[in-house]
Structure 1
Amino acid sequence: MSTEGRPRLGALAKMRGGCPQLNLWTILIPALAFKACVTCGCLVLLFRQSCKEHKTLPQNSAQWHCVLGTPESKERVWRCCPMGWKLFHTSCYYLFSDSRYWDESEKSCMQMGSHLVVINMEAKQDFLLSWLEGTVTAGEGKKSHCLGLYYWAGEGQWHWVDQTPYNQSATFWIPREPNFLPWEKCAVLQVGRRTASSGKRTWNNIRCHKYCHGICETAAVNI
């Protein structure tokens, strides 16, 4: 049958005052793809903005890991740490595998936008003990980990590196420590071969030029 004289599809649509019927999937697929791109773009922008607001975290981290806030918390947010850091509550922690002088450990933490760990509550002490004891191998003996705590002789007082007030009632010194020897002005947390009598009391004061494994702490990013 000859098709001469038949109006073309576009012309027919104009004549009927409407659009030609299209396959539903030809509309849905591009729409869904566009929505996915917009959603991903918004998440990336939100994450970047959140990172800008938390300058304390290492900015050269290529990867991050995030955990959703605990169910009992009022704000359901994702808390993120750089890969290689461990999350506890609202902070991220990094453990050096090698040992260094106390001041060298603090300097290394500062270079990563953090500081040596500050312990001002029992829950954090318990977390650190559980984590660090898992790093001690059988027969290795006792290991010392640098705390962000030092003695300022000028004031006769212990100080935390982040200016957290020193609270004697929230400390975990080994019995009869600190011994106040004038040359032992830096604090460490010791794990391995702990006796039942010491319990959670694992802090000791040492010379600042003795080797210890640094533990860095910084605020986690919330998104």
Structure 2
Amino acid sequence: MKRILVIGVLIIAFAAANEKRFTNSSNDGKTNPLLWMILNQISGFDTKISKLQDKNEQVNKEISELKLKQKETDNNAGKIKTINSKISEIRKFQNHDGNSVYEKAISKMKADIRNLQSKHSNDDRRTKQILKMKGDVKDLQAKHMQDDKREKQLQEFNQRLKALRNDVDILKKKDRQSCESGWKLFGNHCYFFGLQKASWHVSKRECESRHSYLVKIETKTENSFLYSTLTAYWKHETFWIGLNDLTTEGKFTWISDHSSVAYKGWDPTNPSNSGGNEDCTEIHDVHWNDNNCSRRYNFICEKQIG
């Protein structure tokens, strides 16, 4: 641009000198046609210079816009560098009458800008897609956490259910190992102490009505349990037991299973069969005694748990 201005000034100075010389040598005072042509060319150059200055301002404005675009598109630094290089080439052409080259360069820059804007738009779409994918991932993670929470709750529920089942089993076991109200537990058997006095046969039926039998004493330990219970609650009371010799005199068996006597807890003077009709057995204190079956005593029933 500076070169053009210098050339213009020189041309104007040269034209003025010639015009003065021509005027002094002319007799009719008319302008030389050559000078007129030079002045017209100078005027044309001035117009072009003005247009180039306007275009230069426009180019500078577009350069500023491109630099702003450059900040927004960090990923396109290489292409913007290429555009800057082209801008430098355009500035070189501004010293010549290269309007066609200038227009092509501007068009190329605009096309590159559109491409950059399109790529930027595509990047925005990709960014939105990535953000959407991140949102989907977060939703899946949240759902996975909910599923994990449900699974944990299910595991806790199963553990509680298992514990409840264990408690039920324990209760059932205890229930099987316990006796109903009014009965006393010893070993794996329940014992009922009937306090309504009755004959041996009536006492037998009373036990059967309770799904049991007149007690069968098989061990010394069992006999001691009965004795301790009787002395604690019904001291000096007499109770029928299941031992008898109703079938064969002198051969005592248990009414529950007709088995013979294994453990014996007789009083030292018994069985005596006093009077010839003592076929049933009762217990008082700790000893057994054969007695008349028609006598009215309390009775002891026995049954197995479960």
Q: TM-score range by the shorter chain?
A: 0.5 to 0.7
Structure 2 match to 1:120: 218
Distance 1:40 1:84, change over 3 A: farther
Greater C-alpha radius of gyration: 2
Which of 6, 12, 19 lines up with 2:143 in the alignment?
19
Structure 1 match to 2:29: none
Return the TM-score normalized by structure 1.
0.62
SS at match of 1:146: strand
Pick the structure with more strand per residue: 1
Percent of pairs identical after alignment? Answer: 21
Return the TM-score normalized by structure 2.
0.47
Distance in 2 of aligned mates of 1:135 and 1:19: 69
Cα deviation code 1:194-216 (max 9, x no counterpart) = xxxxxx4x111122121221111
Structure 1 unmatched runs, 5+: 1-5, 51-63, 67-78, 192-199
Structure 2 match to 1:161: 255
Cα deviation code 1:21-55 (max 9, x no counterpart) = 3498876556434443455457657987x8xxxxx
Structure 2 match to 1:172: 265
C-alpha displacement of 1:84: 2.6
Which of 195, 209, 214 lines up with 2:294 in the alignment?
209
Amino acid in the other structure paired with 1:165: S
Flag the structure with more relative contact order, 1 or 2, with Cα contacts below 8 A and sequence separation at least 6: 1
Q: What are the within-5 Å matches in structure 2 for residues 1-223 of structure 1? A: 12=136, 16=140, 19=143, 21-22=145-146, 31-41=155-165, 44=168, 79-136=177-234, 142-154=236-248, 156-163=250-257, 165-167=259-261, 170-180=263-273, 181-191=275-285, 200=286, 202-221=287-306
Structure 1 match to 2:28: none
Distance in 2 of aligned mates of 1:29 and 1:133: 57
Distance in 2 of aligned mates of 1:19 and 1:25: 10
CA RMSD in angstroms, aligned pairs only: 3.7
C-alpha displacement of 1:16: 3.8
Amino acid in the other structure paired with 1:145: F
Tell whether the 8 Å contact from 1:148 to 1:160 is kept in structure 2 after alignment: yes
Structure 1 match to 2:68: none
C-alpha displacement of 1:178: 1.7
Amino acid in the other structure paired with 1:97: L
Structure 2 match to 1:194: none
SS at match of 1:99: strand
Structure 2 unmatched runs, 5+: 1-130
Tell whether the 8 Å contact from 2:216 to 2:254 is kept in structure 1 after alignment: yes
